[in-house]
Structure 1
């Protein structure tokens, strides 16, 4: 199942004691955002998931999902005989890639599912892909790549931490480098490989998140200044100046344009 424009916060409740006793198998939920960042909290654990990565978790145990700029999230609920703990699945995991393509083909009607036998085979095949996906994620070559090991610190992981801390005006390269136990120069080189600097990327993400929030119909009553501060800007004039340079219009103009388009769309639907 794909969910478009999901709520910023989801809560998954605990299964009832009756459901737990009646079902010895485990309901496993796999979530995979197509964009943005998803943070999942369950049993005191916290996992951050970037676009095209995935999180596997126990669907019968309470969990909280926090979305940042997620336009679509794909969810797969399966029943498995083997129990599993919450874990992060990297974007290049072969099982995850195969599972994504296979599930997409089924959802688009490219594979015939016109009999119970075919449906059962499809479920068994996807269960096998999930097993392979988890086995690859648990392989020693994956598990030994601790964050403190420089060779395993990717720019993708760094960007995930930036997304999580974007609203902190004090967020800095020094702070992130200290968290990972590396030098700021190491992180600077990662961004230089993309032809940009940490400051450029941080400003770009803050502006894009502000743009997204200004166009959010659920935030129309929030002041522009409140949104600026929420995404990490400490200086309103600097926010307005850089926003106009980036999008060619002021924050208020962008909000007004979206409000006009939204009003026209609602009026058109009402008259149809």
Structure 2
């Protein structure tokens, strides 16, 4: 097979996976040469963390990322990049979705991470963890392929204590649980085009458990797997996230599907200062937020996006959106469009 044929096949497979799993692709090749660096800074700042980005070795700017949303704010991102240096800026995260830790697996190339007074050098097959909200510097002296798993802070804290002790350390993947985790992550990214949404989402918890066990190799006393209540709550949240787009979803339906009483589910969620139906609404709002901010859905109306995300009362949706995000859906959509127009100009 020629190189061109392989590229075409890879693009077809990616397009299939993006469509099936509601992902998005962002690539510098889609931008004019003169805008690529500024565009990349804006995209990384919006999707991951506020950073400064500079080419390394005077190479042309190239970066291609695909972002696949899982439940509870977890995301899977296969990324290809030419050599770059990325440094976290001092300003605070601009969105709650940026309050994350990133688990990184290197699949090609070399990579250096600096954070918390430590530096770690990674090559193909190695993994590490870093805090996206704290200062860090990433140096990629050559072309790199990597997979980032975004893990919201509260989600990871339910599994691991003293996370700050685990950042910027090499997770060796030659043997043990880390070898299994790295193999699973790489296999998953290679199979995305043949997975349906249910299969993809069902892999989240097992994979995060493997990552948790992999971190246990660094400092065993810091890591604990989810207790029974946490595991139960993840099960409830997974069901909600897979079904919240149904208008008719009710507490009774959720209760029957997961085999738990509504009262017990609400008791579990009380520790997070929410309730079952508030959690359902939150996930619907998060779905609308992502779609309104995505180039892929710019041709859809706000009403269409709200309806397919599970809302059936537009007045209630507009009030809830403004309460959650501080602006109306219409204003948010326009601001998102303006950002895209700036970088398309």
Q: Tell me the TM-score normalised to structure 1 length.
A: 0.50
* 2:31 aligned partner: none
Q: Would the aligned equivalents of 1:36 and 1:70 in 2 still touch at CA under 8 Å? A: yes
The DSSP-based 3-state class of the residue aligned with 2:18 is coil
* 1:245 aligned partner: 323
- C-alpha distance after superposition, 1:174-204 (max 9, x if no partner): 1121112221111111101212111221111
Q: Would the aligned equivalents of 2:244 and 2:309 in 1 still touch at CA under 8 Å? A: yes
**How do 1:226-241 residues align onto structure 2 when only pairs under 5 Å count?**
226-241=304-319
- C-alpha distance after superposition, 1:34-68 (max 9, x if no partner): 9832xxxxxxxxxxxx46xxxxxxxxxxxxxxxxx
- C-alpha distance after superposition, 1:198-222 (max 9, x if no partner): 1221111111211111111121111
How many residue pairs end up in the alignment?
167
The DSSP-based 3-state class of the residue aligned with 1:171 is coil
2:344 to 262, 266, 271: 266
* 1:270 aligned partner: none
The DSSP-based 3-state class of the residue aligned with 1:195 is coil
CA separation of 1:104/1:197 partners in 2, compared to 1, >3 Å: closer, same or farther? farther
The DSSP-based 3-state class of the residue aligned with 2:77 is strand
Q: Would the aligned equivalents of 1:173 and 1:184 in 2 still touch at CA under 8 Å? A: yes
The DSSP-based 3-state class of the residue aligned with 1:72 is strand
The DSSP-based 3-state class of the residue aligned with 1:73 is strand
* 1:211 aligned partner: 289
Q: Aligned pair 1:108/2:186, yes or no?
A: no
CA separation of 1:175/1:266 partners in 2, compared to 1, >3 Å: closer, same or farther? same
* 2:248 aligned partner: 170
Q: Would the aligned equivalents of 2:303 and 2:314 in 1 still touch at CA under 8 Å? A: yes
Q: Aligned pair 1:72/2:150, yes or no?
A: no
Q: Aligned pair 1:222/2:222, yes or no?
A: no
Offset of residue 70 of structure 1: 6.6
* 1:184 aligned partner: 262
